[in-house]
Structure 1
Amino acid sequence: MRFLPEFDNIALSHADRTRIVDPAHLRRIWRVNRAAPTVVLDGFLRAVWRLDRAPGTTTVVVEPFEEIRPADRAGLEEEAGRVLAMAAPGEDHDLRIMAVGG
């Protein structure tokens, strides 16, 4: 499991993106003229993510394209923790996984 940044080469470099993402989810990755930050799970782009900042707290918000399996949730939490440690040292951290389609 990995969190990829905006404009990551994985989202940009595949001529046939169906090898890395279900075609039904392409519009969720491409927003206007930019590639959104994505989550890679089992070799596929399975979610988008963002950082929400409030005074003293930074939250990783994950918007999955499909239900996150319970077995993958721990990996998602670990990766979010690494992103938050780098992006918001010294702040409170949180992870919010949105409902599918929510």
Structure 2
Amino acid sequence: MAERWPEYPHDALGWSVQALLPLVHRPPNGTWGRRGATPFTLAEEWIGAPMHAEPRVDALVHRYLAGFGPAGVKDFQAWSGLRRTDEVFDRLRPGLRVYRDEAGRELFDLPDAVLPDPDVPAPLRLLPDFDNVLLAHADRTRVISDEYRKRVCVGAAVAPTILVDGHVRGVWTLRRDGAATVLTARPFRALAGAESDALAAEAAALLAFATPDDAHELRVERPE
């Protein structure tokens, strides 16, 4: 592009391509501790097939429910940015399961999706920044309280979070300190003994995955 339009700034041409063409942000960019040029490629080359001329909203609804169902129409709209999708869900209704939540709102799910028993505890998990679990529903209090959301979602950022029994109970960071990689956990409340053990196990697994050749350390700060 720079050769074709040499009179225009190269940065402006690059940003125009990112805004106007369907691109894929392909790996290996984002490897731990390294930065560099962002590797983009045309979406058609990456998937090996032409792009569809029109959006496949029905397929998008099914993919969304596979990841985040049961969920309502407003949840899908909050996640996708699409509006006026009520007729889409009505058309798909015969092939979906339909539930009601405590407030009487309709929730949809895939017909073969399995609902866990509500008494089964959710395991402690360390979620990355901008994880869709925190962003995929209109009512985010099902995962994070309004109080904690102010501490996790600051400006345009969404911090890495600690889930305890399916709810946000803290944040964490990962950084290199000399020859070691340190995971620092900042719980919003004191963790019980079993929760502390689960945090240590989850942190060890993450550190082994992220930096297998480093020394590792877990630091847990006192709740503020």
Q: TM-score range by the shorter chain?
A: over 0.9
Alignment of structure 1 residues 9-48 onto 2, 5 Å: 9-48=132-171
Give the AA of the match of 2:134.
A
**Structure 1, gaps ≥5 residues long:** none
Q: Quick one: distance in 1 between partners of 2:154 and 2:209? A: 25
Q: Quick one: distance in 2 between partners of 1:44 and 1:20? A: 5
TM-score, with length taken from structure 1 = 0.93
Greater length-normalized contact order (CA 8 Å, ≥ 6 residues apart): 1
Q: Quick one: distance in 1 between partners of 2:214 and 2:181? A: 7
**What is the percent sequence identity of the aligned residues?**
38
Q: For residue 52 of structure 1, report the CA deviation from its aligned partner.
A: 2.2
**Residue of structure 2 equivalent to 1:79:** 202
Q: For residue 66 of structure 1, report the CA deviation from its aligned partner.
A: 0.8
The structure richer in strand per residue is 1
Q: Quick one: distance in 2 between partners of 1:25 and 1:11? A: 12
* Deviations, residues 55-91 of structure 1 (Å, cap 9, x unaligned): 2101110111111111211110000001100111111
Q: Quick one: distance in 1 between partners of 2:136 and 2:186? A: 23
Alignment of 1:67 with 2:190, yes or no, is yes
Give the AA of the match of 2:202.
E
Q: Which runs of 4+ in 1 moved over 2 A?
A: none
Q: Quick one: distance in 2 between partners of 1:52 and 1:31? A: 20
Q: Quick one: distance in 2 between partners of 1:22 and 1:67? A: 17
**Structure 2, gaps ≥5 residues long:** 1-123
Alignment of 1:52 with 2:175, yes or no, is yes
For the Cα contact (< 8 Å) 1:12–1:35, is it kept in 2? Answer: no
Larger Rg: 2
Alignment of structure 1 residues 82-97 onto 2, 5 Å: 82-97=205-220
* Deviations, residues 1-22 of structure 1 (Å, cap 9, x unaligned): 1111111011111211111122
Give the AA of the match of 1:88.
T
